[in-house]
Amino acid sequence: SAVISQKPSRDICQRGTSLTIQCQVDSQVTMMFWYRQQPGQSLTLIATANQGSEATYESGFVIDKFPISRPNLTFSTLTVSNMSPEDSSIYLCSVDAPGLAGAYEQYFGPGTRLTVT
């Protein structure tokens, strides 16, 4: 498995500002994922971040709004830029890591609860 930490755990921000969320993993992983969970909704993949290459964004998400860094195999950041109230969500970092049986499984960090006023 993998132990994932995220900072901050929560924040309240004003519209028009930006917030950078950090994700740290206790082991080296190739693929890291960023998800968004809006109130009452399921998880939606924002982008996949592989070390040494540009992040791959899903339909509806763009790099200017959600720039991602992946400087090494244990760390990534997601920035939510020029925020509006519609960006109020839980943002979750996730990684693929070997499970108990050896197969790769996907684990989630504790999430960052963002409220934009």
Partner 1 sequence: EDKVVQSPLSLVVHEGDTVTLNCSYEVTNFRSLLWYKQEKKAPTFLFMLTSSGIEKKSGRLSSILDKKELFSILNITATQTGDSAIYLCAVGSGGSNYKLTFGKGTLLTVNP
Q: Which stretches of the chain bind partner 1, using CB under 8 A?
A: 1, 31, 33, 41-45, 48, 56, 58, 90, 92, 94, 96, 99, 103, 105-111, 113
19, 83 in Cβ contact below 8 A? yes
Q: How far is the CB of 16 from partner 1 (least distance, A)?
A: 26
Is there a cis peptide before residue 110, judged by omega within 30 degrees of 0? no
Q: How far is the CB of 111 from partner 1 (least distance, A)?
A: 4
Nearer Cβ to partner 1 (75/108): 108
CA distances from residue 24 to 15, 55, 58 in whole angstroms, order as listed: 27, 17, 22
Q: How far is the CB of 31 from partner 1 (least distance, A)?
A: 7
16, 83 in Cβ contact below 8 A? yes
